[in-house]
Each structure stands twice: as structure tokens, then as C-alpha cells.
Amino acid sequence: MSEAGRLTCIGLGITLGSQLTELARNQLAAADVVFFHSNTHYLAGFLQQINPKLVDLQPFYQPGQPRSHSYQAMLDAVIAAVTAGQNVVWACYGHPGVASWPPHEAIRQLTAQGYSAKMQAGIAADACLYADLGIDPLAEGCQQFEASQFLFYQRTVDVSAYLILWQVAIAGDFSLARLQSDSSYIDILCQHLQQWYPPGHQVILYEAADLAIWQHRAEPIPLSALAQARLNQITTLVIPPLRPKSINRQMLDKLGVPADHPLRQV
């Protein structure tokens, strides 16, 4: 056990094993205790080979209980281990800071108490999405939102860029307790999106592969079919651009872009 407890939040990547960095693997091996959460047995088996001192946080999820309660219980368990003087690693799916409030909050609280607490980057689902779908997010532009936030708040959509909605299966869930898709909420999302996109616009249902031997999901459907589609906890909605980008000719003039420049030919 370490003299002073510390926390390192690491990302395991999405595809098990193949996306774990050497630094993260070494930190796993050196930990006094490794916290993780997964609803699959193969992650526990993989981590067991690196460090058998595991604590599975999955049981903190209780049916019908708001996820905020589960997250607080996880947070309390991790912080207690650090304040007890242990070298703690919190091993998170994907990137530890993406769609994951508890690691950020644990670092904030522990740092305020004078403990060493930091986060190591990991490969998140967006990196897999760009590779699997052949998308360069900087080429056409890319807007990304958590699907429920997209509904709850006023958003402006640029239809000349990609629009990516994460956790689409639980879009509209204000209870923070639901884990399954509700077709009535998905229909509301579909109608909301039709402010900007026609019903027949082709969208993509994407799921990264958890194992290297599996194939990712990239299912094209018309937007109007979204409420009838099979949506899982890891399904992401990818909406390709509706129209090309529009040149800002006034800005080209201000920048002094010459008449023979390719931007002037668009």
C-alpha cells in the first residue's frame, strides 16, 4: 500500500485489449486496487490477467434507481480507497472522461483534498467511429451531442456538417433511470430532427466492436425509420451532411484570398 493514496483514471479503449496503451497496462499492474465496471464477463477476465485485485462497480447499478445515485456510490467507493492510502486505478470503458462524470468528480474532490489524482487519455468510441465509417471530422465539420441534451436544450444544427448523437437509445430520458429504448421518445427525437432533415435522409446507426473478432455495426436507414430501428445502449446516430458547405465570400475578401485560389472556384 502506498504511503499517500492516489488515483489514476485510465481508458481501456473500446476494442478489448487492442486499444490499451502500454502506460495504462503498467498502471493497472502496479495498482493496489483496480475499480472497473462492465456488464460483460470477458473484461473482468482480461483485467484479472493483469491485476487480480479488482473491484467491479457494476453491482452499484440498481434497476429503477437513478443513475446519479449509482454514480455517487461508485464515487464514494473509489474516494474511500484513495483516502485509505491505496494506489487506485479506475479503469473505464473507452476514454475515462467522455460521457463519464464520476472520474472527473473524483479527481476534483481528491485534488481539493491534496491527493494526487489524474486522468490518462484513452481511445473513445468517436475515434473508432471515424475509422470504421471513414469520416474525417475536420473535412466537413462535425457536431456532437448527447442525444437527451440535444432534446433538452436549444441547439443550432449545421446541416452541411456531420451530426453525431450519442446514447440515442435513451434519448429524452429525464429520470436518469432508464437503460432501454422508448420508441415514443425516439419518435419525438425523429420529429425534432425533421426540422432540419427530410424524412428520407439516410442516417447511420453505429456501434463499435467490443472485440477484435467482431464486426462493427454501420446500418444505414432513412431518418423516418429511426423509431422502429433496433437501438442498444451503445448505438450512436450518425447523420451525414444534407448539403455542401457554403463559401463565405465576404470573409474571403477580408482575408485577401486571390481570385485564382481554389476557394474562389467553389
Catalytic residues, which ones?
A: 67, 71, 93
HSE-up (13 A, CA, CB side) for residue 94: 16
Distance CA 37, CA 123 (A): 17
Q: Which of 73, 40, 43 lies closest to 57, judged by CA?
A: 73
17: left (phi over 0), alpha (psi -120 to 50) or beta: left
